[in-house]
Amino acid sequence: MQVRFEGVMPAITTPFNADLSVDHGFLIEHASWQVAAGCSALVPCGSLGEAATLGADEKIAIVASCVRAVNVPVIPGVAALSTAEAVRLAQGFETAGARGLMVLPPYVYSSDWYEMKAHMNAVIRATRLPCIIYNNPVAYRTDFSPNQIVELAQENDNVAAVKESSTDVRRIAALRALAGDKLALGVGVDDLLLEGVAAGASFWIAGLVNALPRESVRLFDLARAGQHEEARRLYEWFLPLLRLDTVPKFVQLIKLTQQIVGQGSARVRPPRLELEGAELVQARQLITASLAARPL
């Protein structure tokens, strides 16, 4: 299956049973629902997928379930504490049927370009799969500059795309100027979609799509088609929800939104805890008010 880095790619959440084991039955149902709504690929085992709380075997099993469920590329996130563990994950994902990888810097340890480049190269070269470089300095403290990303692409033929989550939309324009057609460019921040597409992004790895796939795909399609006024109206409605993806409890908030629309549970794995009290009341009010006004 050829991978085209275009369209809406859900950073899919990981559903849990009451005992906090992975709920593969709902995972398959959820993955199928996302694709039926028009999503072009799935990205499991990312930050929104609570990858830091999943064991390697669990991650590989999640990828295998997604592969069985859908006929679009499954592109899991590869993140680990050590380079050796990340390499094993990349190879395990390929064996499980992944059609691409989203490669992150190591958890916890962040250093200079010399060390981070060595880590990225080791993971990228451990597989034949096309790779997305995931730049998210807000979460991971490692900031890959456009020049460094292009350097990785020049040295590795299977570096095919970038998920840019620095929150600086100028990075997309800079990457486009430096890389030309070598790299597909993706928006990795929910509330920068219109700005990112205007700067040249061809895909959106999104969070709120887990609860609202039809609206997400519609928004992306309008933006790519240059239907600016209609896109702006939909975007303005969507922004209060999209901003839920930009705060520390984004996983809890997105899973709560899924629960409210009847597509999932609010369960999370510790150290995350479900929202409660005034925080839960406030979140529910925002979500339900937004949903009541949705235009589609």
Query: Which residues are tagged catalytic?
Result: 134, 163
Residue 95, both tokens: 């064996």
Is the Cα dihedral 207, 69, 37, 205 positive or negative?
positive
Q: Contact at 8 Å (CB) between 169 and 195? A: yes
Q: How far apart are CA 96 and CA 115, in angstroms?
A: 29
Half-sphere exposure of residue 131: CA atoms within 13 angstroms, side-chain side = 30
Q: In this structure, how many other beta carbons lie within 10 angstroms of the beta carbon of residue 122?
A: 15
20 conformational bin, left if phi > 0, alpha if psi -120 to 50, beta if neither: left
- C-alpha distances out from residue 240 to 57, 118, 219, 283, 290, Å: 36, 39, 14, 11, 7
Question: Which residue, 281, 277, 282, 253, is CA-closest to 266?
Answer: 253
| 123, 82 Cβ separation under 8 angstroms | no
Distance between CA atoms of 1 and 13, rounded to whole angstroms?
A: 24
